[in-house]
Amino acid sequence: MEVAMRDGNRTYYLSRSQPPFFALMVELLAEKRGPAVYARYRAALEQEYAYWMDLSFATQHVVRLPDGSQLNRYWDRQDTPRPESFVIDEALAARRPSATAEETKRLYRDLRSAAESGWDFSSRWFADGETLGTIMTTDLVPVDLNALLWQLERTLAIALRQGSAAERARAERLEATAEKRRAALQRACWSDRAGFFVDFELRRARPAEALTLAGVVPLFVGLATPEQATTAARTLEQRFLRPGGVVTTLRRTGEQWDAPNGWAPLQWMTIRGLQRYGHERLAQEIARRWLKLNRDVYVRTGKMMEKYNVEDLSLPAGGGEYPAQDGFGWTNGVALTLLRPPSPAAAATAAGRRRN
């Protein structure tokens, strides 16, 4: 049976999921409560994995690369305007009067699939790098999605190894699948020219040109080689580092997942990814800048925010289909964790991850 972590608590979200972070949540619990956690959540891990790897025509999450290897993409099962943004989607389609019916359906599916990614919206998905009307989400193999699925495969294999002989045999097969994914992602998504991990364009069979913080996820989960991590750290410092932390992309489009915005989850994955490979100085500098921005905005407004302008620290973040949100859960969580010195157990775990 397939069960996905849905994008929201409405029936009209049933056609899509969201990035598969559940395995990382299980790993966190296992660090605190021991290996019994894997057995408790094994069924849920299997159900989520089945959702992403379903090969039926209805889903199309799995794609074959030119070399025959398989990776995943974001894919919404519907090709109609999003109910939560119906008027916006129809207005966008109306600005393309020469589009065929099939092209309009693809536009709607690509908008929905970008929503599944969480990056709604970003120049990352745009064919011209500038405008939402050129969105091509389903033509891209996202580097972050596949790094997270690699983590899911490894976590599920750990859970299966606690079971019967048949389940241990399944764990071995899943570990082999994870290794194939790692090798495929290394071939398709590492760009020597950019010195960074990027998405892969299916239609043109080449790495995408857009540099985005999605490229830190292979470091965050430990998929990168030490050499790649060193090169990526240099790229982060030279091209992404801003006065308030690291910027989401290098393009300004007015979309919320582009410059000049920074987001707490991406700061977190960047910082922890760098620390995993021993790049402590840069990690601490990003953390320092981000926390200072959080404090300064809080002093000025009395609020923690959903996202921040990391380039001009005097201005609020913008973009998106809704007003800037106060709060905010992931901002609070990242700030509190960065402010708290690591426990001896956490430090030992981090050291072990660097060795691995």
Residue that terminates a domain, selected from 185, 212, 239: 212
Q: Mark whether 232 and 177 lie in a shared domain.
A: no
User: Is the domain of 169 the same as that of 262?
Assistant: no
Regarding whether 177 and 269 lie in a shared domain, the answer is no
> What CATH number is given to the structural domain containing 200?
1.50.10.10
Residue 217 lies in a domain: no
Range of the domain at 310: 225-356
Can you tell me the distance from the alpha carbon of 48 to that of 44, in angstroms, rounded to the nearest whole number?
6
Cite the active site residues: 120, 306
In a shared domain, residues 301 and 204: no
Q: Do residues 203 and 246 both lie within one domain? A: no
Whether 28 is in a domain gets the answer: yes
Residues 208 and 245 in one domain: no
pLDDT at position 8: 84
- Domain identity same for 198 and 270: no
- Of the CA atoms within 13 Å of residue 189, those in its CB half-sphere come to 33
Same domain, 297 and 236: yes
Both 176 and 290 in a single domain? no
Amino acid 86: pLDDT? 98
State whether 141 and 239 are in the same domain. Answer: no
| Per-residue tens of pLDDT for the chain, all 356 residues | 456 788 788 998 999 999 999 999 999 999 999 999 999 999 999 999 999 998 765 569 999 999 999 999 999 999 999 999 999 999 999 999 999 999 999 999 999 999 999 999 999 999 999 999 999 999 999 999 999 999 999 999 999 999 999 999 999 999 999 999 999 999 999 999 999 999 999 999 999 999 999 999 999 999 999 999 999 999 999 999 999 999 999 999 999 999 999 999 999 999 999 999 999 999 999 999 999 999 999 999 999 999 999 999 999 998 877 888 888 999 999 999 999 977 655 555 555 555 45
The residues, ordered by sequence, that sit 6+ positions from 23 with a Cβ below 8 Å of its Cβ are: 45, 48, 148, 151, 152, 154, 155, 156
pTM of the complete model: 0.95
Q: What is the DSSP string of 101-160?
A: HHHHHHHHHHHHHHHHHS--S-GGGBTTSS-GGGB-GGGEE-HHHHHHHHHHHHHHHHHH
Inside any domain, residue 194: yes
Domain membership of residue 166 (yes or no) is yes
Number of domains observed in the structure of the chain:
2
Residue 19, token pair as written in the block:
């990035």
- Same domain for 247 and 184, yes or no, is no
Separation of alpha carbons 76 and 15, rounded Å: 6
Distance of CA 80 to the CA centre of its chain: 24
Q: What is the pLDDT of residue 355?
A: 45
Q: Distance between CA atoms of 157 and 248, rounded to whole angstroms?
A: 32
